[in-house]
Structure 1
């Protein structure tokens, strides 16, 4: 008789039980969907450096300031800046000319600091004025715990920039309203052929999440010693857009964790 009772009890175990929240090893994390439901928070309001996630704001400002068909000329300063600071580059060379559209791919896929420098210089005009526009845009978006000191996220000796996981998620939600931005960050490889004004280039997206699971929209990777490995990601799950942020994580772990968090949020959305 006892065994029958046990069987009956086991039989009522619920299909509606939610999956366990994934373990997150990142120092800070945040996941929210487009309906406003927060699916995970971990030190999400702590101010920390965010490395190349800064370039999301760079792209956001560029898309507000200019046209995709604008032409930007690469200078020796752009090239030397990236090389001197040991930053990721898009392999640009002095004298090459690109449309802003192509430079956004150079900025967001290989995370080119040379492209960031060129865009900031062009659309400031001048880098100081451009950074001021970045901070102004942050205030307009309500990013109260965000401060930018450059357009690429490389550490600065004094008065370093910072943000939070919450602010970065809000920024991504705003940026992803732009079709141009969404197209760029969701592209795995972008090629520009050789022309009279630039060499041929092939830029590959550093965001491995694009190839790991379905429905991924983007958006950006980042790394510095100070920030650790970072990932801002977005995907579609059960009819909603899910945006997540991992700051100070492990290199490969950020992608596997992001995949789990997207699926976890999707399960929560399905449960209502």
Structure 2
């Protein structure tokens, strides 16, 4: 009997030791890695913890904007109402300058432009509150049951979700061609008019410029309350993989975590094929 118990303990130890070594060693506080093709959860960490999501919010902003089928070429003028009076963040879009709706959508997604996101919400039929209501309705429709949206930019820490819910958000976002294109644009320029020069923007996710990655959807986020966040859908080992990383504690940790996930999946795929 004692020998049998000892044997079970030995098996348990080695099995769990191997399992502990065979994980991506994610540093972010919460994470979800999800195969969008077969709906299989590959890895999760604190995936049901409700947390501020910062500018990951802008993926929902984009979906609600596109669902409304508003003219992408309609010129929208930046007003004082779009200026961040909560966190006092800066913006390169001057008050009084005008841009086509599709340009504001691109800047909100690729470079997390807060005034662009605020203007998209403000010019929605019924105004900002109607837009926020539509965001929460869309969240429920796609199964984000532990999420809440209070603005279109993500500057308010009241925008909250779980990593599990955000995997659903990314999966839904991937169904929009404009989101796939705009969120992965590596660099872009716009003209604010008034004889000003072109404003040059780059994607806030450096991985879209990395040839080792095939990224379909991307969004970064940062608030002091949320930490550094990153969500993506990418092709890894021939599979559509959703990666959600919330509250990464260091400036480069979310990028490091994403690379660790990719390497981990590719390594496991290699072992299965060996």
The answer to whether the 8 Å contact 2:187/2:203 transfers is yes
- In structure 2, the residue matched to 1:22 is 24
Per-residue CA deviations over 1:85-139 (Å, capped at 9, x if unaligned) read: 23353x1122222111110122122211111110000014321111001001001
Alignment of 1:57-72 (within 5 A): 57-65=60-68, 66-72=70-76
The answer to whether the 8 Å contact 1:58/1:134 transfers is yes
Report how many aligned residue pairs link the two structures. Answer: 250
SS in 1 for 2:94: coil
| Alpha-carbon distance in structure 2 between the residues aligned to 1:151 and 1:266 | 36
Which of 66, 80, 102 pairs up with 1:76?
Answer: 80
The answer to whether the 8 Å contact 1:238/1:266 transfers is yes
Which residues of structure 1 form unaligned runs of 5+? 1-16
- In structure 2, the residue matched to 1:126 is 127
CA RMSD across the alignment: 2.3
User: TM-score, length-normalised on structure 2?
Assistant: 0.84
* CA 1:75–1:194: 2 relative to 1, 3 Å: closer
- In structure 1, the residue matched to 2:224 is 225
* CA 1:113–1:193: 2 relative to 1, 3 Å: closer
Shift of 1:226: 0.8
- In structure 2, the residue matched to 1:136 is 137
Which residues of structure 2 form unaligned runs of 5+? 1-17
Shift of 1:199: 5.7
- In structure 2, the residue matched to 1:165 is 163
The answer to whether the 8 Å contact 1:221/1:230 transfers is yes
- In structure 2, the residue matched to 1:104 is 105
- In structure 2, the residue matched to 1:32 is 34
Shift of 1:153: 1.3
| Alpha-carbon distance in structure 2 between the residues aligned to 1:234 and 1:33 | 9
| Alpha-carbon distance in structure 2 between the residues aligned to 1:216 and 1:261 | 14
The answer to whether the 8 Å contact 1:29/1:246 transfers is yes
The answer to whether the 8 Å contact 1:51/1:223 transfers is yes
Larger mean CA deviation between 255-264 and 171-180 belongs to: 255-264
- In structure 1, the residue matched to 2:208 is 210
The answer to whether the 8 Å contact 2:227/2:247 transfers is yes
Alignment of 1:223-262 (within 5 A): 223-249=222-248, 250-262=250-262
* CA 1:200–1:147: 2 relative to 1, 3 Å: same
